[in-house]
Amino acid sequence: MPDLKEIHGIPDYGSIIELINAEWPAEFGDKTDMEKIADMNESHNTEKDCVKYLYENNVVIGFYRYSLWPRDARETDAAHTYDIAVLPSRQQQGFGMMLMTDMIESCRSQGLSRLLSRTFKNNTASIALHKKCGFHEHMTTEDSIVWEISLNG
């Protein structure tokens, strides 16, 4: 049975490049693996981010990251998803649901009351996942849907 484990400190993003490639949207431009890893390291905030890897037989088949939101707030009751991805060969087998359900529970257990998320409008799988997990549309922009789920009650 796959197992979720929290990663403390800055993750070794190079070791999960297949997952980063799986989630890298065309909208972020064509980058080399090294550039993507550098972007991930740069965007990581060890004080505000929570990362978990999904292991199956010691292989990472999925991961997520969320961050306290807004990041520059001293205190907040909200978080925002940053990453959620499953290896292409393991998609549509329930692992995305497993990751998102755990992320929601992790935020709730910290006493947060809202989780926000953003999906490009062309990402059918992500839209299906957010709807299935109970998010509602908070707002839309030209290219994206911003989702919200209440963690109270």
DSSP the chain: --EEEEE-SS--GGGGHHHHHHH--GGG----HHHHHHHHHHH--TTTEEEEEEEETTEEEEEEEEEEESTT-SS-SEEEEEEEEE-GGGTTSSHHHHHHHHHHHHHHHTT--EEEEEEETT-HHHHHHHHHTT-EEEEE-SSEEEEEEE---
Which of 73/97 has CB closer to ligand COA? Answer: 97
Binds ligand COA by CB under 6 A, chosen from 119, 135, 145, 151: 119
Which of 32/124 has CB closer to ligand COA? Answer: 124
For ligand COA, how many residues bind (rule: CB under 6 A)?
A: 20
Q: If binding is defined by CB under 6 A, does position 91 make contact with ligand COA?
A: yes
Binds ligand COA by CB under 6 A, chosen from 40, 54, 61, 126: 126
- Closest separation in Å from C-beta 73 to ligand COA: 22
Binds ligand COA by CB under 6 A, chosen from 15, 97, 136, 143: 97
Q: If binding is defined by CB under 6 A, does position 144 make contact with ligand COA?
A: no
- Is residue 116 within 8 A of residue 78, CB to CB? The reply is yes
Residues within the interface to ligand COA (CB under 6 A)? 22-23, 84-86, 91-97, 119, 123-126, 128-129, 132
